[in-house]
Structure formats: C-alpha cells, structure tokens
Amino acid sequence: MKKTLLFFRLIAIGLIMLFSSGWAVGQVIISQYIETSSGTTPKGIEVWNVSGHTIDFSKTNLSVYKGTNGGDPSEDFTLSSGTFAAGDVIVIGTDADVSGTGTGFKDFVEGNGSTFYSKSFTFNGDDALVLYLDGVITDVFGTPNSDPGSAWTGNGVQTNNQNISLISGIGTGDTDGWTDPSERFIVTTSDNSLDDFGVAPTMTTLTWNGNGTDWNTDINWTPNTIPTPVHNVSIPTVGPGLYPIISNTTSASCNDLTLTDDGTLTIASLTDNSGSLIIGGNYSGSATAVTYNRYMTGDNTLNKWHLLGSPFTGQGIGTFLSNNPTVTGMKAYNEGEDNWENDYTSATTTQFSLGQGYAIKLSASGSVLLTGTPNTSTVDITLTYGANGNGWNLLSNPFTSAIAANTTADASNNLLTINESVLDPSYTALYVWDETSTSYLILNHTGGSPAVTLSQDYLQAGQGFFVRAASDGATFSMTTTMQKHQTAVAFKSAEESTWASIMLNAETSNAETNTSILYRSDMNKGLDIGYDAGLFGSNPDFALYSRLVEDYEGINFMLQALPEEYETLIVPIGLDAKAG
C-alpha cells in the first residue's frame, strides 16, 4: 500500500446552512394557584413536570412572566439552577407565615416533600401568568393582554381569593390562555389554607376501549383522553383487530403501561418514519405483547447491511430470524478479535443483548418485527478493548424512542456528553453505517455539514452504532433521560448550524472516500473532543484523511474542526491506496 501525506493550504469556500426540525418532550404546567383573600400573602403557583424527564434548570431555564392589569407579560421570576424530576412538583411563592396554618408557605410545601422557591409575587386575580421553559411557552394562566376586571371567573372558580387545583386527568398546558378557569381548575380552599400544595397530582389511568386502532385518537380511550406522560395506560382484551397501533408518525407517551390478558400494542414504521413510544414508569404484561416494526432496505442482488439492536428484553435471535424470513444474514461483532462472528441461524437459542448492535441484511425492503418486554430503564454497557482489537464496540439504542446523541439534541443528557470520559478522545463520536454510500458516517457535536457526517442529532429506536473505547472495562451509559420523540427516520436538528467547510473526495472506478474540514471561531488547531473524529472506514486500502494542524499522536481524521484562520492554516491531507 502506498501512503501519501500532502500539505495543503485550504481556503474555506463553502458555507453550509442546516435547516431542520425537532420535537421537544419537555413541558411544565401550572397545577395549583393561590391568590390571597386578605393582605398580600399567600400568593404562589405549583408547577408540575409532565415531560417524562428530569429538567436541569441550569441548561433549561424556567421563567414566569406576569401581565399586569391586562398588559403585556414580562419576566417576573426565573429559575436557572437545580433539577426538576419527572412527575414532581415545585412551588414558587411568598415565603411568609400564613394565617390559620401556624406555619410558613415554605415549611408547608417542604413538609409535603417538595421544593419551595421564594418569590414575593404581587399578582392579583386579573394578572395573567405565562410559563416559559427554555424560551418556549408551555402554559398560560388567564388571558394575556386582557383585563377581566377583578378576576377571571366561571362556575364558582375564580382567580382571586382562592386556592385552585388542576382538574384530575389534565396533563398538558394551555398555551392559548382561557377566560373560564373552571375549564382547568377546581376550588381547593377559599380561606388562605394551603391544602395540596407540594403534592403532585394523582396519575389518571386511561383504558383502551377498542373503538378504533389509532393510539392518538381520544375516543379510543376511556375516559376520552389521549395519553400523556402523566397518565397510566391499561390495554385489556378487546378482540382481534381492535388493539392500539402507534402509527409511523405518532409520538406516544405514558407513565405506567399495562397489557392484560390478550392485549397487544404495535409500533408502526414506513419508509421515512417510525412510531415512537416513551414509557416514563413501568411496563407490565406479556413478553410478546408489544411489537416494534423497523423499516429497512434490502435487495437480493445487493449486499446491503444494516446495524440494528432490539429495544426489548427476552427477544430470541432464532425466533427473530424465523419471524422475519426476509432477513438473510445476521451476525455480531467481536471486539476482542476485531472481526465479525459467524451468521446466526433460526436454531440459535441466545437472545438479543440489550444495548448491543448486530449487522443484518434483507432480501427485500420492508419492516422487520421485534417483540419482547419494552425496556424502561437505563442501560449500562461494559466496553471492551481486546488484545487483538482496537477498542471498537457495536452498540444500539435500547429504547422504543429516539435518543439524544449530541448537545444540539440535549445540552447535557446526550450520548456523547455523558460518555465522553470513556471514549477515545480522538474518536468521541458515533459511527453509523450508511448502506447508500457503503461507508461509516460520523454523528458528533458538529451536526451534519459535510459528506462524512450524518445530518442528524438523534439515534432512532434500535439504531446500531460503533464507538471506540478509551480502555477496557469502562461503562457506556444510555439513560432514560436521553429519550426523545423523533418519528422521522432522518433526524435533523431544531436549530440552524453554520460552519464554513471544505469537503475533499477521492474516487476510483469502484471506490470512493471523503474527508472534511470545518471552521468555526471557537475551535482549536489541536484536538477538539467531540468535534474532531478519527478515521473509521470499511476500506483500509483506500482512505482519504487529514492530520490535525497541531498534530495529535499522528492520528488520521475523517473530520477536523479548525478556527477561522482560512488563509494561514496548513492542513496535512493523507491518501492511502494500493500500489498501482
């Protein structure tokens, strides 16, 4: 093999703009409100985390805006520290002695096991409140820019002189506002007593009634409500053809999921989309009652491999192959020997290992069916660095929803940030096989600018990927807080990302290889962990790569990020090819 190292002064000539969309699970709502019937205290609100995930206020600020006497709402209080667990409540209010209780608001709330934040609110019954989470409105109390007089009222419920609580079964915010508080609240007390503050609302159980098959249709549930993360779900026996289907474009959430008797649940998938299910609590039911469909391409004449895992426990590999006759090959990767093991057969008795990836190929395009007990817990994988290996481990998303891969998807709860310390610093990226280009593409903090990266910030359910361990025996974690709803197969970030970039390509009559250079002001000439990505390719005899401008142990890089010194930096470019 010839190895050639060339030195180029690369001038960035392309500026790539990424436009894309995402879907945020995070939501908080006002679950209780008190406005004093005398004096200035107590005044406060209880806020409920119905997102299904822990919220880190240092990354995702919570703000309360107040509209005084029908005016424009303006910022009145912001939380920028602390965490907020899924399903919990916090209380923000006047920390003062409360007549008739013998204790302060703070003491009362903390006595109920919740966190209290002191704020000397001055709102009255005619002042609208707006909740913002990370700059996005999640709930509106009253009607902004409208003065109702002394209060909004309806059916005995009013926004002054009362302690009012959210109606049982409501688990979403009202971002348009309302004029009748009785649509969302009931009266708890009218004498300044703090009953129920600091106690999370009770989870309501929704039962499938079989009026149709669409999970996302309210009349198919009793009572008629589409499940949210604050609902428990029960699916009993209703008869053949009447069980729920989470369509390929549906994002479904619940707390506990219980399937009784013959109850079943199907998650659908088509060419461009796959349904998504996040179970915030526990699963109870048959180990074969939930089926996940994953659409994949296949062809008898082409050797198209995919990397796949199962989001279930109890999934037998032999049973999987028997149930999916279009799967013509399936094998595991052995890091210790740095090679692929022999193909599994329908006689294989072992099960899918949760969080492990496998290579499979299909004779024809279509959905492969995975079934078992849905995983609802964090999955920790022990990485290996075998004597004959290079530290490459094949893993997979172990949940029935997508998971955040980088900081664009989630500032802190993402695969790369949480596992940075256990990955090789020069390879802090996820390497995903792309059957179209027949090469591994990079998913890291850069997003999807150049040809060697994926234009996505998430990994779909069951998606397999390679990581390179820094050492043997370290733990790679895939946590429940990483789960996100992303029904589209091709994931793109919700934000616009701008990089100046150069993409280099080399090709022969039957092979192609690429490397990319990115420029941004906050990058360095040396190693930028999570942005620079070392070379991992399927064709060691034909590879194009760069070396760091300030060299880091002579490592070859598929992707290099540099500061915006376009005309002065000299970038080493390497090309490996067979002699002749």
Mean pLDDT by 10 residues, the chain (580 residues): 58 34 58 92 94 84 95 96 92 77 83 95 96 94 95 97 93 93 96 93 93 97 91 95 96 94 94 91 93 91 88 95 96 92 96 97 94 95 90 97 92 93 97 85 82 84 96 95 81 53 86 89 94 84 91 87 91 86
Q: Give the per-residue pLDDT at 97.
A: 64
Which of left, alpha, beta for 100 (phi over 0: left; psi -120 to 50: alpha)?
A: left
In the block, which residue shows the tokens 């895939």?
478
Query: 0.85 exceeded by the pTM?
Result: no
Characterize 146-184 residue by residue with b for buried, 16 or more Cβ atoms within 10 angstroms of its Cβ, and e for exposed. Answer: eebeebbbeeebbbbbbbbbbeebbbebeeebbeebbeb
Which amino acid, 137? I
Q: Give the per-residue pLDDT at 491.
A: 40
Q: Give the per-residue pLDDT at 38.
A: 85
| Phi, psi (degrees; rounded to nearest 5) at 312 | -125, 155
pLDDT tens for 366-391 read: 999 999 999 999 999 999 998 888 99
Q: Give the per-residue pLDDT at 538.
A: 63
The alpha carbons of the chain give a radius of gyration, in whole angstroms, of 27
pLDDT tens for 176-193 read: 999 999 999 999 999 889
Distance of CA 537 to the CA centre of its chain: 28
List 187's β-bridge partners, or say none. 164
Q: Give the per-residue pLDDT at 184.
A: 97
Nearest of 251, 292, 475 to residue 398 by alpha carbon: 292
Distance of CA 7 to the CA centre of its chain: 41
Q: Give the per-residue pLDDT at 98.
A: 62
384's CB contacts (< 8 A; 6+ apart) are 335, 336, 391, 393, 469, 472, 473
Rounded to whole angstroms, how far apart are CA atoms 406 and 459?
10
Rounded to whole angstroms, how far apart are CA atoms 564 and 290?
51
Q: Give the per-residue pLDDT at 19.
A: 26
Characterize 412-445 residue by residue with b for buried, 16 or more Cβ atoms within 10 angstroms of its Cβ, and e for exposed. Answer: ebbbbbbbeebbbbbbbbbbbbebeeebbbbbbb
List 267's β-bridge partners, or say none. 246, 292
